[in-house]
Amino acid sequence: MVDSLKPVASADPARVLVAVVSHGRSRTLEELAKSVADIVRTAGFPVVRNVVAQGVPTYISQLVSNVSNENEADAIVMIGGTGFGPHDNTCETIDGLVERRIEGFGEAFRRLLREDFDLGARAMLARATGGVYNKCLVFALMARPSEVTAAVQKLIVPALPYAVALATGRVRAYDPRL
């Protein structure tokens, strides 16, 4: 079970952008993005918008760069394109773009899959990544609905206020007591 972090005092709640990464329109992925946005809103964070990004590295990079440079959102949750296939570019693109990786995110996601979804050793095949680009958090997850919603509820939402405070410099170092 993942422990919740205590909220960090902040004037405004973290703003979140939800992005689907796909090589074509997918009603299933768009519905998943809406579900993720609902979870984020229910937790008290504004969702600035939902977008569909073409699953090409250039477009993924442009989305992250534009959102962070324009200060549109404090966090981006990307869904899709994290597999092993030849067209799955999200993890490599994010890892190559971010200034600092959130090493524990992928580990926590795979632990969630092992424990909550009983995937056992197959959980190691799930790819997820997180990092910070220009003070904006970026998370990338696979596109399986139950696993994504669990990760957003149990990993991203509880850590979001503190992670944004770290990324923006309002908190200077990780302190497990906060």
Q: How far apart are alpha carbons 147 and 141 in whole angstroms? A: 9
Q: Please tell me the pTM assigned to this model.
A: 0.92
Q: What percent of the chain has pLDDT over 70?
A: 92
Q: How far apart are alpha carbons 74 and 61 in whole angstroms? A: 16
Cα distance from N-terminal residue to C-terminal residue, the chain? 18
- pLDDT band at 169, cuts 50/70/90? very high
Average model confidence (pLDDT) across the chain: 92
Q: Which residues of 94-126 are buried (b: 16+ CB within 10 A; e: fewer)?
A: beebbeeebeebbebbbebbbeeeebeeebeeb
Is pLDDT at 101 greater than 60 in this prediction? yes
Q: How far apart are alpha carbons 160 and 162 in whole angstroms? A: 6
The residue-averaged pLDDT of 75-102 equals 96
Identify the residue whose tokens are 């939902």. Answer: 50
- pLDDT band at 166, cuts 50/70/90? very high
Whether the Cβ atoms of residue 79 and residue 19 lie closer than 8 Å to each other: yes
pLDDT digits (tens, 9 = 90+) for 4-19: 444 455 558 999 999 9
